[in-house]
Structure 1
Amino acid sequence: MQNYTTELAPGGHWSLELRRGTQLTLRDLSGGSNVGMLFYNPRNLLERYNAPDTLKCQHTFKLTQGHCLYSDMGRIFASITADSFGWHDTVCGNSHASHIAKKWGGRDYQTDRNDWHQNGYDAFLVELAKYGLGAADMAANLNWFSKVVTDAEGNMALAPSGSKIGDTVTLRFEMDTLVLLHSCPHPYSWAETYPKHRIGIELGLAAAVAEDDECLNHCPENARGFANNALYYLGA
């Protein structure tokens, strides 16, 4: 049973520390949503999510159930234990103010209040500042519920068929993790108007990792990542 639920408003952002052994479920409440996310080690903010290692360790370009999310120290921040969508992006980065203004027109909170157009990059900067971090600490982020496709020339684009209302993805945290997230548009969004998607968030305790765990056994690299976590929590 989940212990806490909340909702992230369209264009919203949030950050929180999730402890080892907890889980987070994101739920697309509107359909076609995007959730940007970053991870940091709250005990050592220099350790952060590493997109290249996450992909190459698991021999994949997409993220889905069974995959782990790595830090730049070879440890595992979180595992994807459930996923109804099946394809999540971690190479396309964030939308910026210039992208938003070009596609949908620039709007600021001072003038437009809740009808303003926030972008992912600035949303992360607001949350980073709460922990003494800034632009230099920005890493390549995850984009949940966003599938990327390529054409014959290798050009990337956001897939026209996005997530459905009610789609979920669940993360089990394998170490204490500072989580930053936003609900701003994907940088490749093709929407005619500024996307306004609501995201449900459910927090609770995760089941213990069993010997036959799908994420642990997905590939030998993941087993080594879990071993690195065990060594870390032994204080070695």
Structure 2
Amino acid sequence: MTASFSITMGPGGKWSAYIGKGKSVTLTAAGDSANVSALLYHAAYPSERYNMPDSLKAQHTAFYTAGHVLMSDQGRVLASIIEDTAGWHDPLGGYTTRKGTDGKYGPTSYQQERNAWLRSGEENLTVELYRHNLTPRDLSAPVNFFSKVVCELDGTMRYVPQPTDGRSVTLRTEMDVLLVVSNTPHPLNPSAVYPRAAVEIRITDAAPMTEDDMCVNHCGENRRAFENTWNAYALMKGAN
């Protein structure tokens, strides 16, 4: 992929694709209460995937914004967050389930409502994983883009509404990745109304990295993860 590509996920929508190294992936919300649950895998070897505990521990954070990176369980950088107008993205809250969705918004089914039925994150992510020869065993903690969850000192997680209409976040792929996303509510969102915000995904070539790159220089742990990534790709390069 070298030209610009875009797709819009409606409420309850899902999408997945293999995306090459060095791409810019921008998610833009067209409404408030948006939430995109996202999983990332190494495209060639999906047993290597986004690791929430390592990413948070290495960067001394409980949320993501510009300057942070999404690390794999091999200590490499799958993607960096290079731009962000939302300001806070939740890595802790998980995804919605069928039981939770029915309990909060009322039972629905495809057989009765057809495409208007209310989907859950778990179902959407599972369907997209199957498209790439993965299974529910490959589900893990997602990044919930556009959602803000504050962790209190006693460990309580508190959902905090924040404006998302028109807000965007841009990832730069540092490896060839499989991106799996679901436009479904955050499980801690207390509203009894299923969110209706569409989210556009736009993919272009990323600008070349510079010496003062904020993601590389965010902390020493980030630089080491980038070095691990650069070394891995250097070993795979041919002579020409």
Which TM-score bucket, shorter chain as reference? over 0.9
| Aligned residue pair count | 234
Q: Once the 2 structures are TM-superposed, how far is the Cα of residue 189 of structure 1 from its aligned partner? A: 1.4
For residue 156 of structure 1, what is the aligned residue in structure 2? 157
Q: Is the 8 Å Cα contact of residues 37 and 181 (structure 2) preserved in structure 1? A: yes
Q: Once the 2 structures are TM-superposed, how far is the Cα of residue 163 of structure 1 from its aligned partner? A: 2.8
For residue 141 of structure 2, what is the aligned residue in structure 1? 140
CA distance in 2, matches of 1:136, 1:143: 20
State the identity as a percent: 39
For residue 28 of structure 1, what is the aligned residue in structure 2? 29
Alignment of 1:182-193 (within 5 A): 182-193=182-193
Mark the runs of 5 or more structure 1 residues left unpaired by the alignment: none
Which one-letter code corresponds to 1:99 in the other structure? G
Displacement over 3 Å in runs of 4+ = 150-154
Q: Deviations over 1:98-139 (max 9, x none)?
A: 110110112111210122010001110000101111111111
Secondary structure, counterpart of 1:223 in structure 2 = helix
CA distance in 2, matches of 1:28, 1:170: 12
For residue 72 of structure 1, what is the aligned residue in structure 2? 73
Alignment of 1:46-57 (within 5 A): 46-57=47-58
Secondary structure, counterpart of 2:46 in structure 1 = strand
Using structure 1 for the length normalisation, give the TM-score: 0.95
Tell me, yes or no, if structure 1 residue 198 matches structure 2 residue 198: yes
Q: Once the 2 structures are TM-superposed, how far is the Cα of residue 154 of structure 1 from its aligned partner? A: 3.5
Q: Once the 2 structures are TM-superposed, how far is the Cα of residue 150 of structure 1 from its aligned partner? A: 4.2
For residue 16 of structure 2, what is the aligned residue in structure 1? 15
CA distance in 1, matches of 2:85, 2:173: 19
CA distance in 2, matches of 1:227, 1:150: 31
Q: Pairwise CA RMSD of aligned residues? A: 1.3
For residue 235 of structure 2, what is the aligned residue in structure 1? 235
Q: Is the 8 Å Cα contact of residues 33 and 162 (structure 1) preserved in structure 2? A: no
Q: Is the 8 Å Cα contact of residues 146 and 163 (structure 1) preserved in structure 2? A: no
Which one-letter code corresponds to 2:98 in the other structure? A
Mark the runs of 5 or more structure 2 residues left unpaired by the alignment: none
CA distance in 2, matches of 1:211, 1:17: 28
